[in-house]
């Protein structure tokens, strides 16, 4: 994929269908495999690459390392501004319609958060307290 195509994709809303998982054999081959997942909404945060190769066991005098290294390009898709991006293969996502979901709302989580707060409030109200209101 050329740089101009990558620049056009930056920040686009996408729906992820496949993610990359690291598969490692102890003191052996390290590969990244595409795994199907439930649809995840997010936006393209950046482009990167992952290393594949043969893992060599660390010893007392040198750290572990990869040999016969090849690199696989990936797209990093963020589901929320403060969460770690998901590694996605180039064929593992599709551009989303603007009507498919609303990522622009900063309070998309608010309704579920308020429901959880009400449940926690009910649980806390059933815990015994002393005369000053502290939990016993």
Task: Check residue 100 and give its pLDDT.
Answer: 57
Contact 17/94 with Cβ under 8 angstroms? yes
Residue 94: pLDDT above 80? yes
Average predicted confidence (pLDDT) for the chain:
83
CA angle 107, 46, 39 (to 5 degrees): 55
* Other CB atoms within 10 Å distance of the CB of residue 89: 20
> If you search the block for the tokens 């939990």, which residue do you land on?
135
Residue 8: pLDDT above 80? yes
pTM (two decimals): 0.67
**Averaged pLDDT, 14-42:** 87
**Averaged pLDDT, 14-19:** 91
Residue 112: pLDDT above 60? yes
Residue 79: pLDDT above 90? no
**Averaged pLDDT, 41-70:** 85
What is the DSSP secondary-structure string of 32-80? EEEEEEEEEEEEEEEEEEEEEEEEEPP-SSS--EEEEEEEEEEEEEESS
**Averaged pLDDT, 10-17:** 89
What are the helix (H) ranges across 70-132?
Answer: 110-125
> If you search the block for the tokens 């498919």, which residue do you land on?
100
């Amino acid at each position: 994929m050329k740089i101009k195509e990558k620049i056009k994709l930056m920040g686009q809303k996408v729906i992820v269908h496949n993610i990359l998982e690291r598969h490692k054999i102890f003191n052996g081959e390290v590969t990244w495999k595409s795994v199907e997942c439930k649809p995840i909404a997010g936006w393209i945060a950046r482009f990167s690459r992952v290393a594949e190769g043969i893992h060599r066991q660390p010893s007392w005098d040198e750290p572990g390392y990869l040999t016969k290294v090849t690199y696989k390009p990936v797209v990093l898709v963020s589901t929320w501004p403060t969460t770690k991006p998901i590694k996605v293969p180039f064929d593992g996502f599709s551009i989303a319609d603007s009507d498919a979901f609303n990522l622009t709302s900063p309070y998309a989580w608010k309704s579920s958060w308020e429901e959880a707060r009400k449940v926690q409030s009910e649980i806390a109200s059933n815990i015994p307290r002393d005369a000053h209101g502290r939990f016993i």
